[in-house]
Structure 1
């Protein structure tokens, strides 16, 4: 199976459609699939539901899809530094499903593992628990959360080989592995594609069986907030 594509547009060819559900890796501006996001923007695919920890910032990451009104619903943990995200949510232009951070990661992991749902104590007694099944285990109340299965996963990794084995670097190993696993199709952008067999099997973070298409690209190294002391 051919997995390596020339660019983000080629890698997404035939996969995008209006109203689709996308799981996106990344945390803040770290490990976000910026090239694939830009390609989705250029394609104009709309009415998207996107599951991601947050939505980047106003002019970078998923924030660019909010600017163009291509996102209908976000499933997220954190509005973060994105003023447009906050504005659209408060004005009723954007549907938002808040998830505790660990719950969102586990929903993605569960979907990738073929687990339709799981029980957790996180959110019990809060708005998160409204309209969800409650069940007692060992004298404690838990709520049922559903696993996430997306039409498409978009992730960013540090290295890949031609079979799709992925290695993530430091903090970029955040939501990327569970997001990658829960998509019916996964497209990964990487900083480097290395020869088959050159990756230490014990250091591979995501097996290639989860990854269908790969691109290599140049990436912008942004810092979400830079704080320096006075001279």
Structure 2
């Protein structure tokens, strides 16, 4: 059985200043909302965050940005966050932008024990500066190194008490590969069920990748609301 935390603050209690965190989600879909809020409340700082994007100004990782708790951001998209843009342009935060597919593969490789791989994405651009370039079948590829984290904070729909996880549709996004690439993975879930209640054929993250579980309500905010006039 995996530890089941009574609160988000208990779940993130051992996360300290200067650590590297992977945070699941795509936009606001599948983000570990309550774990992020607990990090804001704890005021842990100088964090390196690995995530597809940095939330929006008033939710998700944007809350950590607002309090300047992030020292470095490794991601693939920054377009929905004005504060992120401001901090980048003012030099208040270090940013490593990576093509989205490359980011996903760097995380997957980290979880699979693969130290590096070659990809054509980014060849001939600033992404490839300072990196090894090799030619395979007359085509240039750039060497990218795998990513790892001290903690992975992920979101799932259901977990059993062993830590097996099932995700809800597109909320799966980066969460499974981040679960594998973190030294310690905390899964924030909507529901915890008994062992045997999950169909083994439906499990998307095996329990071996999960070290702790938090059952928590999620607001599920809409990132960009569009309505008819």
Under a length normalisation based on structure 1, what TM-score does the superposition of the two structures give? 0.97
Q: Which residue of 2 aligns with 1:73?
A: 72
SS at structure 2 position matched to 1:224: coil
Q: Is 1:166 aligned to 2:176, yes or no? A: no
How far apart are the structure 1 equivalents of 2:222 and 2:181?
28
Residues 55-114 of structure 1, C-alpha deviations (whole Å, 9 max, x = no match): 110110000000011000000100021110111001111110000001111111100111
Unaligned runs of 5+ in 2: none
SS at structure 2 position matched to 1:154: strand
**Cα shift at 1:228:** 1.6
How far apart are the structure 1 equivalents of 2:152 and 2:173?
14
SS at structure 1 position matched to 2:30: coil
Unaligned runs of 5+ in 1: none
Residues 102-137 of structure 1, C-alpha deviations (whole Å, 9 max, x = no match): 111111110011111111001111110100111111
Residues 158-192 of structure 1, C-alpha deviations (whole Å, 9 max, x = no match): 00001111111111110111111110000010000
Q: Which residue of 2 aligns with 1:9?
A: 9
How far apart are the structure 2 equivalents of 1:8 and 1:221?
17
Count of aligned pairs: 229
SS at structure 1 position matched to 2:118: strand
SS at structure 1 position matched to 2:88: helix
Runs of 4+ off more than 2 Å: none
Q: Which residue of 1 aligns with 2:44?
A: 45
Instruction: Show the 5 A alignment for 1:37-116.
Output: 37-116=36-115
SS at structure 1 position matched to 2:104: helix
How far apart are the structure 2 equivalents of 1:60 and 1:25?
14
Q: Which residue of 2 aligns with 1:35?
A: 34
Residues 7-29 of structure 1, C-alpha deviations (whole Å, 9 max, x = no match): 11111222x11111001100000
Q: Is 1:182 aligned to 2:181, yes or no? A: yes
Tell me, yes or no, if the aligned pair for 2:2 and 2:163 is still in contact at 8 Å: no
Q: CA RMSD in A?
A: 0.9
Under a length normalisation based on structure 2, what TM-score does the superposition of the two structures give? 0.98
How far apart are the structure 2 equivalents of 1:127 and 1:27?
24
**Bigger strand share:** 2
Tell me, yes or no, if the aligned pair for 2:2 and 2:213 is still in contact at 8 Å: no
How far apart are the structure 2 equivalents of 1:137 and 1:122?
14
**Cα shift at 1:2:** 3.7
Tell me, yes or no, if the aligned pair for 2:4 and 2:212 is still in contact at 8 Å: yes
How far apart are the structure 2 equivalents of 1:4 and 1:36?
14
